[in-house]
Structure 1
């Protein structure tokens, strides 16, 4: 029996490959205009995603444009809540203008990595987002504190793995400052994904298997090989009898 999985990418960040990627993906995590992009970029990307029938999600991050939202910031809980509410509110309004709703939330960059380590922080982010759009599902980095937080608040969540990132033995991502943290070979990435989906486990850099609920695959739109990688992933998954479609 064929298995099903979603293929998503972080879009609306001004990386120039969005229109082509949208024709391959099943879901789009659209930048809310702070860590990158702009209101116009968010609207343009959301329109393309809507027209292609993709699942549309809000992709909030730190207000850190100079570092693409990849620098860790320490914010008070109230400031973090306000930052999330502002971005999800903006994305919700743009989506409504196009006659669609936000289907999921996915945290970006340093914010996501910190929430994968700290369930309390993840819960603050998730509760704030759901206050703005209660119907969203939470796209969580599988088998991390993000998933723990989503389960603790009784939210609907989607277990996500990464096509283009290496994993530590605790299911967190290898820091981008380390060699080999980002995968660039589309064939290697696709092969690893088939293994992970077939085994129902994250494959760490060490070879360790970490059991995980895998419902979505992410690749980063700013990775130079993103388009080639997306095509290879789609082809390899199809050959392996794994269907691509957005989450129910």
Structure 2
């Protein structure tokens, strides 16, 4: 049996700028924000507003590129070649980076959104296309990807710093992959259950899958989805739970 040994620190990130949550209430509670940059949600005004909130609260700002599918919030797989995916990611990243520069800010990381994120977890060609695009655009950016999946592996292969990501309120299968949305257990609705999962991730480096299998994970950054109606309440509870476990909440690459 593992002995509980809390991590010294963890990044706490949230997907924001999507026009469906209380970003101003969430941002003081997290250390990194993944900002929608026009694919599944967001426009120049929301990007600028979210960047300014990040600056106000000292939160690391990152790009959250996705399939260009606003109708389905980027959560539908759109078959396309890796060259098209690379151009799509570059366009969204470049747009947010340009707005950040106008605001006197620099982006810290990139995290694909939704279906693009999940495809990149298992499809190494897609993961390589994303990682190569990020590395060519700005090699100082950190690439966020599902813990233990193809995306962080591709990021390392392309010389990027990577952050293995885990989730506060998403269910897992026995491979350490997220359960598809719409299936039983895919979204953890109970705050108590989510906090129990956060505690296990932060103190044991593991998560319990839907079949009861215990999956070991590397937890560099912990995600909470900002589009849920109770995201601010969840964010406060997650932050309090991490602090109670003695885990410092810091952006990736910051020493505790």
Partner of 1:33: 38
What aligned pairs does 1:88-107 form with structure 2 within 5 A after superposition?
88-107=93-112
Partner of 1:175: 180
CA contact (8 A) 2:63 2:96 kept: yes
Secondary structure, aligned partner of 2:29: coil
Partner of 1:186: 191
Where do 5+ consecutive residues of structure 1 fail to align? none
Q: Does residue 72 of the first structure (1) align with residue 77 of the second (2)?
A: yes
Deviation string, structure 1 residues 7-57 (Cα, Å, up to 9, x no partner): 110001001311100011111000111211211111111111111110111
1:22 to 2, 27, 39: 27
How far off is 1:239 after superposition? 1.1
| CA gap 1:56/1:32 in 2 versus in 1, 3 angstroms | same
Give the structure-2-normalised TM-score: 0.93
Partner of 1:238: 243
Q: Does residue 127 of the first structure (1) align with residue 132 of the second (2)?
A: yes
Deviation string, structure 1 residues 70-127 (Cα, Å, up to 9, x no partner): 0101111221111011001001101111111110000000000000111111110111
Where do 5+ consecutive residues of structure 2 fail to align? 1-5
How many correspondences in the alignment? 248
Deviation string, structure 1 residues 129-157 (Cα, Å, up to 9, x no partner): 22222210101110111122223223210
CA contact (8 A) 1:187 1:232 kept: no
Partner of 2:219: 214
Note the aligned Cα RMSD (angstroms): 1.3
CA contact (8 A) 2:36 2:63 kept: yes
Give the structure-1-normalised TM-score: 0.96
1:205 to 204, 207, 210: 210
Partner of 2:58: 53
